[in-house]
Amino acid sequence: MRFSIYRYNPETDAAPSMQDFDLPDADVAPGMMLLDALRLIKVSDETLSFRHSCGEGVCGSDAMNINGRNGLACITPLASLKQPIEIRPVPGMPVIRDLVVDMSQFYHQYRAIQPYLIVHDPEPEVEYLQTPEQRDELDGLYECILCGCCSTACPSFWWNPDKFRGPAALLQAYRFLADSRDQATAERLEALEGPYRLFRCHTVMNCVDVCPKGLNPTKAIGKIKKLMLKHLI
Amino acid sequence: MIWRASGFRAWLLQRLSAVYMALFIGMFVLHLVLDAPSSYQEWRTWMALPFITVTASIFFAALLIHAWVGLRDVIIDYVHPLGMRFVLLALVAAGLLAMGLWVLRILMMGGAA
């Protein structure tokens, strides 16, 4: 099985390059995921760097660009990929080394939407209660693992990563707007106003296309716009 | 107003102008299909009807607003140096304004003749 993997060590390399690797077919077990193959390759070349942790699509560490498409290596079956399998870091982010990118800007945008409940009333002595219907509103929003596949596939995020919040952060912005327990709707909407933070989204929908958890940031962004309209009227 | 339409207002104006343009074009095409003017004179008379002059004027205003928001979006996306962005935005604004005045002149002259 043939691989072409992006290699770059900013401390020693003048420029990034693609390196070919061959994995003997005997090593490829049926049902094997891309991450398993990368770990085998790392046995033969321990300088190859990539992030990974849980290995089952829950932690979101191993987002990478696989044959031109962002995804999680740990839940991408090898059998589904055309050879040579071309692996690059997620696009638009500063490369630290090989497939490891600096996610600071992505996390900065996430923190900026205040990803926590804001309550102005005195805290209740019991739990915050929600009806099952109110809880259902959060489905399709809370499952985000912040792997960054969506934001790094978004052209608007490539051009303005410092000002546009990006699909991942906006999905979470709506997650808290939709939460019946949150009391900061007006402030949150106000914080998304302006030409950049929300409105750089041009519904390209790359985010929906690549999300490994099957979430729909574009739909959430549309719902934020609808909420803004409701607040205007 | 439009100059300061930042995020939400610009987006809303773009949607509203799109809806109006779709309705107007539908009405316009329907008229051309069902009751096509047989001569230039007839066409001019129809265009000079107050209802048509007013709705057509609004149509072109909507078109210019729509174009302004869209082109401004493209420039905000891709042109980052502020000086360059300002020059391009000014050029677009001047071009759209000139077209608007031209359209207005045509519509008003049509009414006068």
pLDDT in tens, A96-137: 999 999 999 999 999 999 999 999 999 888 988 999 999 999
Q: How far away is chain A from the Cα of B36, in angstroms, using its nearest Cα? A: 38
Where are the alpha helices (H) located in chain B, listed in sequence order?
8-34, 40-48, 50-78, 82-112
Site from A159, A170, A192, A197 to mutate, B interface, most B CB atoms within 10 angstroms: A159
Looking at chain A, the domain(s) classified CATH 1.10.1060.10 span 104-232
Looking at chain A, the domain(s) classified CATH 3.10.20.30 span 2-101
Q: Would the CB atoms of A225 and B76 count as touching at under 8 Å? A: no
pLDDT in tens, B60-82: 999 999 999 999 999 999 999 99
Q: What is the mean pLDDT of chain A?
A: 96
Where are the alpha helices (H) located in A89-165, listed in sequence order?
104-112, 132-136, 155-159
Residue B6 pLDDT exceeds 80: no
List residues of A whose CB lies inside 8 A of any B CB.
156, 159-160, 192-200, 202, 225, 228-229, 232
DSSP, res A137: T
| Chain pair A-B, CB pairs under 8 angstroms | 34
The string over A2-33, giving b where at least 16 C-beta atoms fall within 10 Å of a residue's C-beta and e elsewhere, is ebebbbbeeeeeeeeeeeebebeeeeeeeebb
Amino acid identity of A74?
C
What is the pLDDT at residue B3? 44
For chain A, how far is it from start to end, CA to CA, in angstroms? 59
Bridge partner residues of A21 (DSSP): A3
Report CA-CA distances (Å) from A32 to A38, A73, A85, A195. Answer: 11, 11, 14, 45
Q: Which CATH number fits domain B2-112: 1.20.1300.10, 2.40.128.120, 1.10.10.10, 3.40.50.720?
A: 1.20.1300.10
- Class of the A104-232 domain? mainly alpha
Cβ atoms of A156 and A199 within 8 Å: the answer is no
List chain A residues with CB under 8 Å of B6. 193-195, 199
Tell me how far apart the alpha carbons of residues B11 and A13 are, in angstroms, rounded to a whole number: 45
Q: How confident is the model at residue B4 (pLDDT cuts 50, 70, 90)?
A: low
Instruction: Return the number of other C-beta atoms located less than 10 Å from residue B111's C-beta.
Output: 14
Cβ atoms of A93 and A70 within 8 Å: the answer is no
Tell me how far apart the alpha carbons of residues A28 and B32 are, in angstroms, rounded to a whole number: 67
List chain B residues with CB under 8 Å of A200. 76-77
Q: How confident is the model at residue B100 (pLDDT cuts 50, 70, 90)?
A: very high
pLDDT in tens, A7-34: 999 999 999 999 999 999 999 999 999 9
B8 touches chain A (CB under 8 A): yes
- Region A178-203: mean pLDDT is 95
Cβ atoms of A57 and A74 within 8 Å: the answer is yes
List chain B residues with CB under 8 Å of A156. 77
What is the pLDDT at residue B1? 39
- Region A65-88: mean pLDDT is 96
Instruction: Return the number of other C-beta atoms located less than 10 Å from residue A165's C-beta.
Output: 28
Residue % of chain A over a pLDDT of 70: 100
List chain A residues with CB under 8 Å of B73. 202
What is the pLDDT at residue B68? 95
- Residue A51 CB contacts under 8 Å (≥ 6 apart), including other chains: A61, A62, A99, A100
- Class of the A2-101 domain? alpha beta
- Residue ranges of B 13-72 with Cβ closer than 8 A to chain A: none
What is the pLDDT at residue A45? 95
pLDDT in tens, A34-72: 999 999 999 999 999 999 999 999 999 999 999 999 999
pLDDT in tens, B21-41: 999 999 999 999 998 889 999
Tell me how far apart the alpha carbons of residues B111 and B113 are, in angstroms, rounded to a whole number: 6
List chain A residues with CB under 8 Å of B77. 156, 159-160, 200, 202
Residue B2 pLDDT exceeds 50: no
Residue A222 pLDDT exceeds 60: yes
Q: Indicate the helix (H) or strand (E) that contains A230.
A: helix A217-232
